[in-house]
Amino acid sequence: MSSLLSSVRSTVSPDIGLDLGTANTVVYERGAGVIVSEPSVVAYDLRTDEIVAIGRAAKELEGRTPAHIRVVRPLQRGTISDFRAAQTLVARLVDRALASRPRLAPRLIACIPGCATDIECKAVEQAVRAAGARYTTYVPQAVAAAVGAGLDVTSLRAQMVVDIGGGTTEIAVLGTAGVIRLSSIQVGGDVFDQAIAQRLRAERFAVGALTAEQLKIDLGFAGRPRGVAPALVSGGDLEAASPRTREVSETLVGEAMEDGIERILRGVLAVLESVPPDVASDLIESGITLTGGGALIAGLASRIGARGNVPTTVALDPLTCVARGAGEILGSPTLLEQVRPHADRFTRWYQSLRIGMRESYSP
């Protein structure tokens, strides 16, 4: 009977997991899977203050708009920088996802990076509520990523997840539905894109953000070059002040990305060095799971595994792990209560004592 009632409720008031990311926003409905995945980009008309495009349509306008059209990313480094644009993005994507059937307002859970302040967490919650959800809450991004990757976060054995998003990398060690260690570093896909563009600019060749991102996807690597053929890209010759094309090698792209990759490696090693011996022993068996778009960087998993001396694998469909995990957490009241941040640090501290864990946060 309870399962029938749950099915009826989810039909008229679905459970939605939302990964409101710096680069992409993913909407997941429990029982239906990922139903929307769009770039976190909004374009609006400065003359009328009206939204003219969101998601993929807005991203395609980047660098190609007249002066009165502004293209913005409402999230920077995992937190909201433009509240109105973020609220509009969430509202329209959720409406688009659920437009095919009559429904009540959904229950919605959003994910936040570990570096987010209480004010930034509240801003995410308010943006989601303003989008029309009847119930909203949030969970740490790394915890949702772990659940979405299929890790059993209720297990006594400690497990580690590294979620490499567009704006931040979340590194977490989890056990018995709690956070043992949590580190959030402001390195992600955007840092790699900017580094590639800056490296080319140093060679007097300018490319746009979309071209830099595509170079990262096609030629990026961590470790040894793969032997991929150079890519022919179009851009601006800064010396001749005219458009031209040139070849870009994977070596150039890899060198540009190296600093960001090293920062991620140092973050992972710092967390591994900080855990108690028993937890370290667990991690040798359970390994590290990579999620997020950055998990797809060629060679990154093997490089982390070699440096940390811990087996490292890439989750299945790493781009959607956070949203899928959030939706599954929302569908489990017991798990939600265990992993949801509490309203004050005293309560969080008391719970950590009760279950024998410690939380740590690093910038």
Domain ranges of the chain: 2-142+321-354, 147-187+257-320, 190-251
* Residues 314, 301: Cα–Cα separation, whole Å: 7
Is residue 349 over pLDDT 70? no
Is residue 130 over pLDDT 80? no
Q: Which residue has the higher pLDDT, 69 or 134?
A: 69
| Domains 2-142+321-354 and 147-187+257-320 belong to one CATH topology | yes
What's the whole-model pTM score?
A: 0.85
Arithmetic mean of pLDDT over the chain: 85
- Of the pLDDT bands very low, low, confident and very high (cuts 50, 70, 90), residue 133 is confident
Burial class (CB in 10 A: 0-12, 13-18, 19+), 358: middle
What is the DSSP code string of 314-355?
Answer: EPSSGGGHHHHHHHHHHT-HHHHHHHSPPSSHHHHHHHHHHT
Lowest mean pLDDT among 12-16, 22-26, 73-77, 293-297: 12-16
For the 190-251 domain, the top CATH level (class) is alpha beta
Q: What is the pLDDT of residue 110?
A: 87
CA 262 to chain centre: 19
Q: What is the pLDDT of residue 154?
A: 83
- On whether the 2-142+321-354 domain is CATH 3.30.1330.60, my answer is no
Lowest mean pLDDT among 104-108, 193-197, 327-331: 104-108
- Of the pLDDT bands very low, low, confident and very high (cuts 50, 70, 90), residue 353 is very low
Is residue 350 over pLDDT 70? no
> Phi then psi for 192, rounded to 5 degrees?
-65, -45
**Token pair for 191:** 């840092």
Q: What is the pLDDT of residue 362?
A: 36
For the 147-187+257-320 domain, the top CATH level (class) is alpha beta
Is residue 341 over pLDDT 70? no
